[in-house]
Amino acid sequence: MTSANASYQFPPDFMWGVASAAYQIEGGVKEGGRGDSTWDVFCRGKGNIRTGESGDIACDHFHRYRDDVKLMASLGVKHYRFSIAWSRVIPDGNGAVNDEGVDFYSRLIDCLGEHGITPHATLFHWDSPQALQEQYNGFCSPRWATDFARYAGLMAKRLGDRVSSWLTINEIACFTQWGHYYGNSPQGLNAPGMKVADQRAIHQTVVHTMLGHGLAVQALRANSAQPCKVGFVHNEGMSVPISETPANIHAARKRFSECCNVLAFHPLMTGALPEWWVKQATANGTMPQVSAAELKIMGEPIDWLGHNVYTGTYVRAADNAQGYEDVPVPAGYPASTINWLILNPDALYWQVRFATEVFNFTKPHLITENGYPGTDEFTATGEIMDLERIWFMRSYLRQVHRLIEEGFPVLGYFYWTMLDNFEWLYGYSKRFGMIHVNFETQERTPKASAHWYAETIRQNRLV
């Protein structure tokens, strides 16, 4: 007889899901009164998207959402994380609400409900209203924070009778640090931004965004017709000890807490900044303007923490000032079709464990994204045997299982993503979907991984 552990059985109420983002799937960018987002404008810029493409049509989900939800239900998926396009519901970012735009999400949510699928709405997945960029340079102004909170409150009012799970912001580093460092130049990262003068100005965009997050948490709770859960979707430092010795675990934990996203992550988790960081930023002239009261708002308690996990960095203890060093990746190490995505399933385990240990965080966790870009070619039999994606999902889900076995409250997993879609700077050239999309005909074909996921959900264990 196999033990529960050997068969990788999951808890009965484990949330099996898929995730998506508005600009990557919806299309219909000129329909229903939608205003431009920064991504519409960025895609029009020559050379910005490697393939010259845009999200103008994408998966045409704006028109095909009913069929897509049906497809989702046919896989047995019970939870769907999608994002609301701010410029569809408030075209100029801070003016009148566009009822037609809200109606689209309202219909989507009803349709999910008809299929027994729980909605998890992300308010901001990178498509900031272009109007705010023009009014006040978007994230460079504190007005972004109050406008975001107003938008959050309005969504809670309009949709909060049927949505009780909200995620404020997706992967802050991508559009603040990278977006504003690289500006409108395709550097292999996923965010267009306004290039700003220096690192201090970049830090200021992080402060405004996190302030927006905290104010939005308050606005969601204040305007929701029912009790709701609010989370933040993060991609942390992803430090993985090269071996599980106390010294290497200590080193990786230290890197996790010091190296990435300190300005966003520490206030989020504690309502304050570590003294060493303030000292360092003051000394090197990168300290943004932020008050203790603002830091406290950024730390408005969340109900659960979302982790987007794709890759990780191996770390070992080192005899240097910081006490750790990154381990270089050899040429033959397992990779994917995207240069930044090398395989590291253990990253999932360590992210959740370190977030718990570093901040004494005892609330639940969600794996809000985890996905693999494959080559995904049709075989002679008309199938897509994406075995590497199945391998990927199984390996990362084993780490979810390990966490649960060890008592970490990981409540759900959202595969990124159901449908192949617009992969930002890579256009349609990178496919993360479990379901193949022919972008000429919009035909959807489930890959082998979709069948694997459906059976895993059905049996509630890794098959």
Stretch that binds ligand PNW, among 170-178, 243-251, 384-392, 397-405 (CB under 6 A): 170-178
Cα–chain-centroid distance for residue 213? 14
Q: What is the DSSP letter of 451?
A: H
Burial code (b: 16+ CB inside 10 Å, e: under 16) for 83-104 equals: bbbbbbbbbbbbeeebeebbeb
DSSP secondary structure letter of residue 157: H
- Which range in 166-174, 195-203, 266-274, 344-352 contacts ligand PNW by CB under 6 A? 166-174
Per-residue contact string for residues 205-244; x = within reach of ligand PNW by CB under 6 A: ------------------------------x---------
Which CB sits closer to ligand PNW, 20 or 98?
20
Q: Smallest distance, Å, CB 173 to ligand PNW? A: 8
Give me the 329-368 binding string for ligand PNW, x by CB under 6 A, dash otherwise.
-----------x----------------------------
How far apart, in whole angstroms, are the C-alpha atoms of residue 406 and residue 311? 22
Contact between 308 and ligand PNW by CB under 6 A: the answer reads yes
DSSP of 244-258? --HHHHHHHHHHHHH
441 vs 116: CA distance, rounded Å: 29
Cross-strand partners of 374: 431
Residue type, 75: L
Least Å distance, CB 432 to ligand PNW, is 6
Binding residues for ligand PNW restricted to 2-31, rule: CB under 6 A? 21, 24
**Residue 164: in which H helix or E strand, if any?**
none
When binding is defined by CB under 6 A, the residue of 127, 236, 386, 423 that contacts ligand PNW is: 423
Q: Which of 128, 133, 170, 370 binds ligand PNW (CB under 6 A)?
A: 170
User: CB of 174: closest distance to ligand PNW in angstroms?
Assistant: 5
What residues pair up with 436 in beta bridges, in sequence order? 445
Rounded to the nearest whole angstrom, what is the least distance from the CB of residue 176 to ligand PNW in the complex?
A: 13
For residue 225, give the DSSP letter: S
Q: Is 84 in the site for ligand PNW (CB under 6 A)?
A: no
Among 174, 230, 268, 410, binds ligand PNW (CB under 6 A): 174
* Closest CB to ligand PNW among residues 258, 423: 423
Task: Say how far apart CA 354 and CA 252 lie, in whole Å.
Answer: 9
* Site membership for ligand PNW, residue 416 (CB under 6 A): yes
Which one, 153 or 237, has the nearer CB to ligand PNW? 237
Query: Residue 323 — φ and ψ, nearest 5°?
Result: 90, 10
Instruction: Name the residues annotated as catalytic.
Output: 171, 369
- Rounded to a whole number of angstroms, the minimum distance from the CB of residue 24 to ligand PNW is 6
- Among 40, 171, 294, 376, interactor with ligand PNW by CB under 6 A: 171
Query: Burial, 334: exposed, middle or buried (Cβ in 10 Å; 0-12, 13-18, 19+)?
Result: exposed
Closest separation between CB of residue 129 and ligand PNW, Å? 18
Separation of alpha carbons 212 and 220, rounded Å: 12
Number of chain residues interacting with ligand PNW (CB under 6 A): 15
- Complete DSSP assignment for 345-372: THHHHHHHHHHHHHHT--S-EEEEE---
Pick the stretch among 137-145, 167-175, 250-258, 278-286 that binds ligand PNW (CB under 6 A).
Answer: 167-175
DSSP 228-291: -EEEEEE----EEESS--HHHHHHHHHHHHHSS-HHHHHHHHHSS--HHHHHHHHHTT-PPP--
Chain residues that interact with ligand PNW, rule: CB under 6 A? 21, 24, 170-171, 174, 189-190, 235, 308, 310, 340, 369, 416, 423, 432
